[in-house]
Structure 1
Amino acid sequence: MARSRLRKRPLMDDQLTLLRERGERLRQAAQSIGITHAAKAAGVPYTTLRDYMGGSEMKLSAVASLARVCGVSLDWLAFGVGDAPITTAHVAGSSEAPTRGGHQTVIPWIDDRDEGLRVSKAWLEATVARETTGLRLISVTGDAMTPTLREGDLAMIDTASVTVQGGSVFALRVEGNILICRLERCLGGGIRALADHDRYPPQDLSPDEAQALTLLGEVIWSGGPLVS
Structure 2
Amino acid sequence: MKIIFYKLLFSTLLCFFYSCSASEDYNTDDLQDPIDNSKRILSLGDSYTIGQSVCESCSFPKQLKDSLVNNNDGVTFELNIIAQTGWTTSDLISNIVSENPSNNYDLVTLLIGVNNQYQGAPFSLYESEFPQLVQMAMSKVQGDKTKVIIVSIPDYAYTPFGQFSGDPSLTSTEIDMYNAFAENYCNENNITFVNITDITREGLNNPDLVASDDLHPSELAYTRFVERLLPLAIEKIQ
In the superposition, the TM-score normalised over structure 2's length comes to 0.26
Structure with more contact order per residue of length (Cα contacts < 8 Å, sep ≥ 6): 2
Structure that is richer in helix per residue: 2
In the superposition, the TM-score normalised over structure 1's length comes to 0.26
